Amino acid sequence: MNPHIPFLSIVLTTAAIAADGKEHFTDPADAGPDFAVQGEYAAEGLGAQVIALGGGNFHIVGWLHGLPGTADNVEKKEEVSAKREGDKVVFNQNGWTGEIVGGKLTGTKEGKTSVLQKTERKSPTLGAKPPAGAVVLFDGTNADAWKNGKVDKGGNLSMGVLSNQEFGDFTLHMEFRTPFMPAARGQGRGNSGVYLQNRFEVQVLDSFALKGENNECGGIYSKHRPRLNMCFPPLTWQTYDIDFTAARWDADGKRTAKARLTVRHNGVLVHENAEVDGATTAAGRKDGPGPGPIQLQNHGCPVAYRNIWLVEKKQ
């Protein structure tokens, strides 16, 4: 580590993300001043992710060589905590001093100052149109493709639904948005999940700027952690593009091949042909032969979904 290269970062421990918190916001206009500060900041060769933790408290995760997913050599560095003081968020820790104000993060260490501007990234597959022959599961007009389907006041699909149709091998596109829950931690913060065949869960969670575990956003729950954490800040629309190959079974009910998943989170490859040895935790259907539905899990958090379509593949 070169002490003369300016950067900021934060590492959150398990204990630091274990507290409960239930207040949530689904509209940025109601989310308060901390929402305006949280998010991503960038300068040439540098990145920072600011996590709002409620009560004017923040953690800052800094990156050398850019934000996650922007370059192959991006790496996480030191840590600082920050706190609101009036209209500023300030930090003074581990030799770093600085502030966040007006969409600008300024940090100084050993006489070297970095200035990062707030930025908002969008997935390159956001708004992707279904190709000819695709099964459109939700386009905002109605929720007829789902059991217990409900369209919220924003025209999005609410979680807690199961597709009427069942599928074997397929490619799935979907978009989701986690709520802003600054006081919540861990699995209580924007939790849902996409269950393929109601057997294999790709986790949905507000795990913005966390480590990227198998129970965080982009993880194949309890099986595989993502290659990198590509979770965007809460209330940002995100994408999953998932290529799914079902497990194979012989006539005697013996599995001859495991299910395989390739997952792109916000356009970045986070799993490539990952084998899944059996159904994931809390799956609604046991691993076995035959197709299955898509489930969007209700875990008590107002996660919204939109633009869901699927292309079936020949088996």
**Radius of gyration (Cα) for the chain, nearest Å?**
20
Q: What is the pLDDT of residue 22?
A: 66
- 172 contacts 196 by C-beta, under 8 angstroms: yes
* CATH code of the domain containing 85: 2.40.128
Beta bridge partners of 135: 310
Spatial distance between the Cα atoms of 161 and 146, rounded to a whole number of angstroms: 6
Q: What is the pLDDT of residue 185?
A: 93
Are both 154 and 49 inside the same structural domain? no
The pLDDT-based confidence of 315 (bands split at 50, 70, 90) is: confident
Q: What is the pLDDT of residue 174?
A: 98
Are both 91 and 24 inside the same structural domain? yes
Domain end marker among 65, 93, 119: 119
The pTM of the full predicted model, rounded to 2 decimals, is 0.92
Are both 183 and 307 inside the same structural domain? yes
For 249, counting Cβ atoms within 10 Å of its Cβ (0-12 exposed, 13-18 middle, 19+ buried), the class is middle
The pLDDT-based confidence of 314 (bands split at 50, 70, 90) is: confident
Res 149 pLDDT > 60: yes
The pLDDT-based confidence of 207 (bands split at 50, 70, 90) is: very high
Q: How many domains does the chain divide into?
A: 2
Are both 276 and 153 inside the same structural domain? yes
Give a yes or no: residue 130 inside a domain. Answer: no
Tell me the pLDDT tens digit for each residue of 53-88.
999 999 999 999 999 999 999 999 888 999 999 999
**Burial state string for 177-192 with b = 16 or more CB within 10 A and e = fewer than 16:** bbbbbbbbbbbbbbbb
Tell me the pLDDT tens digit for each residue of 179-191.
999 999 999 999 9
Give a yes or no: residue 125 inside a domain. Answer: no
Are both 104 and 153 inside the same structural domain? no
Sign of CA dihedral 173, 237, 199, 213: positive
Give a yes or no: residue 5 inside a domain. Answer: no
**Helix, strand, coil share of the chain (percent; to 5):** 5, 45, 55
DSSP class of residue 128?
P
Are both 143 and 283 inside the same structural domain? yes
For 171, counting Cβ atoms within 10 Å of its Cβ (0-12 exposed, 13-18 middle, 19+ buried), the class is middle
Residues 6+ apart with CB under 8 A from 129: none
Res 113 pLDDT > 90: yes
Spatial distance between the Cα atoms of 231 and 243, rounded to a whole number of angstroms: 19
Give a yes or no: residue 2 inside a domain. Answer: no
The pLDDT-based confidence of 2 (bands split at 50, 70, 90) is: very low
Structural domain span for residue 173:
135-313
Kindly state the average pLDDT of the residues 270-291: 96
**Burial state string for 226-237 with b = 16 or more CB within 10 A and e = fewer than 16:** bbebbbbbbbbb
Q: What is the pLDDT of residue 79?
A: 84
* CATH code of the domain containing 255: 2.60.120.560
Q: What is the pLDDT of residue 15?
A: 29
Spatial distance between the Cα atoms of 163 and 144, rounded to a whole number of angstroms: 9
Three-state DSSP class for 187?
helix
CB atoms within 10 A of CB 285: 16
Res 12 pLDDT > 90: no
Residues 6+ apart with CB under 8 A from 92: none
